[in-house]
Amino acid sequence: MTIQTTQQSITRWHEMLKSQDMSILNDLLDDNVTFRSPVAYKPYPGKQIVFFILTNVIQIFENFTYHREFYSDDGQNVVLEFSANIGDKKLKGIDMIQFNDQGKIIDFEVMIRPRSGLNALAELMGQRMATLGL
């Protein structure tokens, strides 16, 4: 794996957010991807649930903007710093994304602050997750 493979995947990630073309996300996620939520201790495994979570979060966030990107030396891990708001609640966070040799996302972990923004996200995502029985 090269850092170029990861950078190509990150470029596609940014294209997806700009175009709202979620078929790109389907291409980027490995079948065995794991999502680590900022509000749930237990990770969510599998492409279907991770696709659901990420597409819903993208719909909930308003004024979503990435500010900085950090790549690990091995090129398999990227940290993306972002800001967004949910109604009048502002938040900052990071996406920590791990890629496999094919440039597919195998692990996606999110950290968010402050608590008011995290609580607003948790409430809205909780309602959407309930429709799946999660």
Q: How confident is the model at residue 1 (pLDDT cuts 50, 70, 90)?
A: low
Report field, pTM of the whole predicted structure over 0.85: yes
Q: Which of 60, 63, 52 is nearest to 22 (CA)?
A: 52
How far apart are alpha carbons 129 and 134 in whole angstroms?
5
Please indicate whether residue 134 or residue 31 has the higher confidence score (pLDDT). Answer: 31
The answer regarding whether domain 3-130 maps to CATH 3.40.50.10320 reads: no
Please indicate whether residue 40 or residue 61 has the higher confidence score (pLDDT). Answer: 61
The encoded tokens of residue 124 equal 């809205």
Pairing status of strand 29-36 against strand 105-113: parallel
What's the rounded mean pLDDT across residues 51-67?
A: 95
In the chain, what are the domain boundaries?
A: 3-130
What's the rounded mean pLDDT across residues 40-45?
A: 93
Asked if pLDDT for residue 80 goes beyond 90, the answer is yes
Strands (E) across 5-55 are located at 29-36, 44-45
Q: What is the DSSP letter of 103?
A: S
Q: How confident is the model at residue 133 (pLDDT cuts 50, 70, 90)?
A: confident
Please report the pLDDT score of residue 35 as a whole number: 98
What's the rounded mean pLDDT across residues 79-96?
A: 97
What's the rounded mean pLDDT across residues 93-108?
A: 97
Q: How confident is the model at residue 2 (pLDDT cuts 50, 70, 90)?
A: confident
Share the mean pLDDT of the chain.
94
